[in-house]
Structure 1
Amino acid sequence: MSEESRLRETICTLAASMFDRGLTHGSTGNISVRLPDGGLLVSPTGSSFGRLDPARLAQFDAVGRHVGGDAPTKEMPLHKAFYDTRSTAGAVVHLHACHSVALSTVSDADPDDFLPSITPYAVMQLGRVKLLPYFRPGDPAMGEAVRGLAGKRSAVMLANHGPVVAGKDVEAACNAIEELEATARLALLTRGMNPRLLNQVQVQELATTFNVEWDA
């Protein structure tokens, strides 16, 4: 099996797993992966994570031309912004995950540090998560907002919409966005209970040990 064929199958397998576990629903969410030649494989517009077809994934060449498959997600500007600003990005995943969306609506959410440091794993896999304001789905301004971060964040939360995470490969990106949703769920479960969070010394130790961009 070629590397491209393997990636097509992996995208669909991971997307179906997230759909089956309720991490996104209906025709929501989108996913992209960088190919070895610099091109991209992207989930089609209006498609369901539960029913992606490897042969119908949108394909782009290294200069950004649509060269195969169905029409891509309308969130292409968002995906492209991560690839253009983060040289290490090998995949980008966007979900409409319930608990992270709910957490984005609370009035005291910190735009610069959206996700509380409840467990070490969120720090290790995501770094500091930026909460971006609400944008209309498909609005190119979402991509511009990501570009404005100059590649300093691997994960953002679109207010009232959903999380977006870039990873070194598709497995890492999916693992990280699942960690984001799990931590958001923990934050909601412990809301109002004055939970004991990791302190700054503990967070900094994690950031140093696992080479996390925490101070960005």
Structure 2
Amino acid sequence: MTPHDLAEAGAHLASLGLSPGSSGNLSIREGDRVLITPTGADLAAIDANALTVLALDGTHLDGPRPSKEFPLHTAFYRRDPATRAVIHLHSRHAAAQSCRPPWSAHSALPPLTPYFVMRVGQTPLLPYAPPGDAQQAADLERLPFPFKAALLQNHGPVTSGPTLEAAVAAAVELEETSALLLTLGELPARVLTREEAGAMAEKYGMPWSG
């Protein structure tokens, strides 16, 4: 993954309408450094030559001032060494879903489709905190069960992955699943059984506790 890959991913997410205005931030990990979009960056027009460079502990090493959400990014990298990309968006349906009660203690969303389990996995809802809150990031880092995505209450989604492509796919699938749930509203809906979701999670190496 390169800075140009990050810029292309931002443009792709913006083209899908998942990053209104200057909202959202992306990062990739290079060894013991994190390259993240600077504060106020428009994901549709990321300058690959003007990214912020951070240490894994969040120390600002080079480049412009980082997005205020950088603690979330570095928390994901520290809790799982396999993580190489993190995406935080304010996508409409996932943000709306973050305002609703969670489906379970381990996932804000149920296993509505196999693709949600395959590409996102269990997605805990983190209690509300102001944007950029370091304590919220610390709480995320200490959660005692595996996950690769989370919803920030009354805020929006954050996804991660071993590749930038995986993190992007998770962000898109999380938005789509949220849209499906909001479309269903109070209508009765079948979700995958514990066995069905567990089998999908095991096959694709995704976290799912049911």
Give the TM-score band, short-chain normalised: over 0.9
1:3 maps to which residue?
none
In the TM superposition, residue 62 of structure 1 has moved relative to its aligned partner by 6.4
State the alpha-carbon separation in 1 of the partners of residues 47 and 182 from structure 2: 35
Matches within 5 A, 1:59-74: 59-61=53-55, 65-74=59-68
Conservation of the 8 A alpha-carbon contact between 1:114 and 1:129: yes
Partner residue of 1:163 out of 145, 157, 166 = 157
Whether 1:146 aligns to 2:140 is yes
Number of aligned pairs? 210
Residue by residue, what CA displacement relative to the aligned partner does 1:186-206 show, whole Å, maximum 9, x if unpaired?
111112111121111211111
2:112 maps to which residue?
118
Code of the aligned partner of 2:53 = Q
State the alpha-carbon separation in 2 of the partners of residues 137 and 63 from structure 1: 18
Whether 1:17 aligns to 2:12 is yes
Residue by residue, what CA displacement relative to the aligned partner does 1:23-77 show, whole Å, maximum 9, x if unpaired?
0111111111011x32111000111111210111112356754333211111111
State the alpha-carbon separation in 2 of the partners of residues 114 and 132 from structure 1: 9
Matches within 5 A, 1:1-216: 7-35=2-30, 37-61=31-55, 65-107=59-101, 109-150=103-144, 152-215=146-209
In the TM superposition, residue 131 of structure 1 has moved relative to its aligned partner by 0.5
User: Structure 1's 40 and 204: CA in aligned 2 closer, same or farther, altered over 3 A?
Assistant: same
State the alpha-carbon separation in 2 of the partners of residues 71 and 150 from structure 1: 31
Conservation of the 8 A alpha-carbon contact between 1:39 and 1:64: no
State the alpha-carbon separation in 1 of the partners of residues 194 and 13 from structure 2: 32
Code of the aligned partner of 1:18 = L
Q: Name stretches of at least 5 consecutive residues in structure 2 with no aligned partner.
A: none
Code of the aligned partner of 2:20 = H
Q: Name stretches of at least 5 consecutive residues in structure 1 with no aligned partner.
A: 1-5
Residue 130 of structure 2 aligns to a residue in which SS?
coil
Tell me the C-alpha RMSD between the 2 structures: 1.8
State the alpha-carbon separation in 1 of the partners of residues 57 and 208 from structure 2: 32
- Aligned-residue sequence identity (percent) comes to 35
State the alpha-carbon separation in 1 of the partners of residues 101 and 194 from structure 2: 24
Residue 55 of structure 1 aligns to a residue in which SS?
coil
TM score, norm. by length of structure 1: 0.90
User: Structure 1's 162 and 62: CA in aligned 2 closer, same or farther, altered over 3 A?
Assistant: closer
Code of the aligned partner of 2:90 = H
Residue by residue, what CA displacement relative to the aligned partner does 1:102-157 show, whole Å, maximum 9, x if unpaired?
11222465443211211111101121110011110111112112112146211110
TM score, norm. by length of structure 2: 0.93
Conservation of the 8 A alpha-carbon contact between 2:58 and 2:70: no
Residue 165 of structure 1 aligns to a residue in which SS?
strand
